[in-house]
């Protein structure tokens, strides 16, 4: 039987992130994607002002009850941006109730970047997210998110491998099976993904070029492609490489267009992703 993924995150109607990114990308990987929207926002929260926000937490129990009655279950559950602490607790419950045996639980703790939490989140939210990370087979934080979840200071540049290792070990000790950390850099012109599983002696890396400009939504693009590639049978390191190359290709399409400050033009390179997994 073909694999089916459930992804739980918000609908930002405009802004190229969360579900509007996850659905097309996982679909392009050839994987059926079911959704559980955590909230509906008029736009994402990073740079737009006066956005609307409807929390859908109250809808979640009824949706999951129905799925259980219909015996609907998933081969992977991938969570991204979640709207509230209570919602995170509900997602931990979803992990138990609609997971097939062997279900891969992939948690992108989308809540912070560059040393700061996104608008609307606080330390208590990060602590709740750490609990969800502890229930994950794969947790996909950037350095900021990792530091917040394990109570380490955030170091933006000039850190060494011992710092990265400490963050990853602490995430594993929360209960996560594998940590896939993005945005790791020891050399000015290279950026990469660090991977460490429980019991591993050493961190594995996939490094790629660092582009002159960051674009928005890249964490969601990476996590979606990682999930799709993993479901297509890639190893975690292979899936990280596929996802990182795809993300960088999308960023390259975006550079130079200042009108596109809110997102990343991943649509232009979806055919490359599909071809690589064909
Ligand atoms: O890209 C992560 C993300 C998802 N959803 C919403 C966001 C953000 C980042 O800012 O605001 C609503």
CATH of the domain at 102: 3.40.1190.20
| pTM to 2 decimal places | 0.98
Is the per-residue pLDDT at 1 higher than 90? no
Dist. CA 180–CA 139, nearest whole Å: 6
Q: 192 CA to middle of ligand 1, Å?
A: 22
Instruction: Output the residue whose Cα is nearest ligand 1's atom 8.
Output: 44
List of E strands, the chain? 4-14, 32-43, 53-55, 74-79, 99-107, 112-113, 116-117, 138-139, 178-184, 190-197, 204-209
In a domain, 278, yes or no: no
In a domain, 277, yes or no: no
In a domain, 276, yes or no: no
> From the CB of 45, is ligand 1 less than 6 Å away?
yes
In a domain, 195, yes or no: yes
Tell me the residue range of the domain where 200 lies. 4-260
Q: 244 CA to middle of ligand 1, Å?
A: 19
| Percent with pLDDT over 90 in the chain | 98
Average pLDDT, the chain: 97
Name the pairing type of β-strands 138-139 and 4-14. Answer: unpaired
In a domain, 265, yes or no: no
> From the CB of 12, is ligand 1 less than 6 Å away?
yes
In a domain, 273, yes or no: no
Q: 11 CA to middle of ligand 1, Å?
A: 9
- 191-233 pLDDT, tens digit each: 999 999 999 999 999 999 999 888 999 999 999 999 999 999 9
Neighbours of 122 (CB within 10 A): 10
Number of domains in the chain: 1
Q: 28 CA to middle of ligand 1, Å?
A: 22
């Amino acid at each position: 039987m073909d694999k089916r993924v459930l992804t739980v995150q918000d609908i930002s109607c405009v802004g190229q992130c969360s579900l509007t990114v996850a659905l097309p990308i996982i679909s392009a990987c050839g994987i059926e994607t079911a959704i559980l929207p955590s909230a509906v926002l008029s736009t994402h929260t990073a740079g737009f002002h006066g956005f609307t926000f409807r929390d859908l937490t109250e809808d979640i129990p009824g949706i999951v009850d129905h799925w259980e009655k219909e015996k609907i279950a998933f081969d992977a559950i991938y969570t991204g941006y979640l709207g509230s602490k209570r919602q995170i607790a509900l997602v931990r419950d979803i992990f138990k109730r609609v997971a097939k045996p062997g279900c891969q639980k992939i948690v992108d703790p989308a809540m912070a970047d560059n040393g700061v939490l996104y608008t609307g989140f606080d330390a208590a939210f990060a602590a709740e997210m750490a609990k969800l990370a502890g229930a994950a087979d794969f947790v996909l934080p950037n350095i900021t998110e990792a530091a917040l979840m394990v109570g380490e200071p955030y170091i933006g540049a000039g850190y060494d491998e011992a710092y990265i290792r400490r963050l990853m070990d602490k995430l594993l000790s929360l209960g996560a099976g594998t940590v896939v950390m993005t945005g790791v850099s020891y050399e000015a012109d290279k950026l990469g993904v660090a991977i460490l599983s429980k019991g591993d002696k050493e961190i594995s890396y996939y490094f790629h070029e660092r582009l002159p400009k960051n674009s928005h939504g890249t964490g969601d693009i990476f996590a979606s492609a990682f999930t799709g590639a993993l479901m297509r049978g890639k190893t975690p390191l292979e899936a990280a490489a596929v996802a990182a190359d795809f993300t960088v290709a999308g960023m390259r399409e975006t550079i130079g267009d200042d009108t596109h400050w809110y997102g990343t033009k991943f649509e232009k390179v979806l055919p490359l992703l599909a071809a690589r997994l064909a």
